[in-house]
């Protein structure tokens, strides 16, 4: 029998950009949600916030799964690969060294990305 309280208190383990397999949702309903978001909003939300027009090619988690974000529609933003990668590099700083939620919330660079996502 596993030590449940300890398991429940664990943060996501260190991982590479893009989150761990266990945190990702590969369900049909999630894929459908992503497709509908891209249909409804085909431009990168982050580029749009800076006055650029770029096609969205993927769905970004506004708050990364690896930092406690969810697959809820409100946490998803259509994005281009460049923005997703740039944001991922910022997030990776927290994931790779371990993190404190308060540090994440105060980080000005991540706050800038969140603001551009319109949340």
Residues at the interface with Zn ion (CB under 5 A): 44, 46-47, 54, 80, 83
CB of 55 to Zn ion, least distance (A): 9
Judged by beta carbon, residue 12 or residue 90, the one nearer Zn ion is: 90
Residue 60 is encoded by which pair of tokens? 């970004």
Least distance (Å) between residue 22 CB and Zn ion: 27
The residue whose two tokens read 């590099």 is 89
Choose between 47 and 95: whose C-beta lies nearer to Zn ion: 47
Q: How far is the CB of 23 from Zn ion (least distance, A)?
A: 23
C-beta of 56 vs 65, nearer to Zn ion: 56
In angstroms, what CA-CA distances link 69 with 2, 10, 42, 74, 80?
25, 15, 22, 10, 19
Contacts of residue 90, defined as CB under 8 A and 6 or more positions apart, other chains included, come to 107, 109, 110, 113
């Amino acid at each position: 029998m596993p030590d449940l309280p300890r398991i429940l208190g664990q943060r996501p383990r260190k991982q590479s950009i893009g989150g761990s397999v266990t945190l990702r949702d590969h369900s049909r309903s999630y894929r459908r949600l992503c497709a509908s978001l891209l249909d409804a909003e085909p431009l990168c939300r982050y580029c749009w916030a800076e006055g650029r027009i770029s096609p969205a090619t993927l769905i970004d988690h506004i708050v990364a799964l690896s930092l406690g974000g969810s697959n809820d529609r409100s946490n998803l933003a259509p994005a281009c690969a460049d923005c997703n990668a740039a944001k991922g590099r910022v997030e990776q700083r927290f994931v790779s060294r371990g993190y404190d939620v308060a540090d994440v919330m105060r980080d000005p660079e991540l706050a800038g990305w969140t603001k551009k996502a319109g949340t």
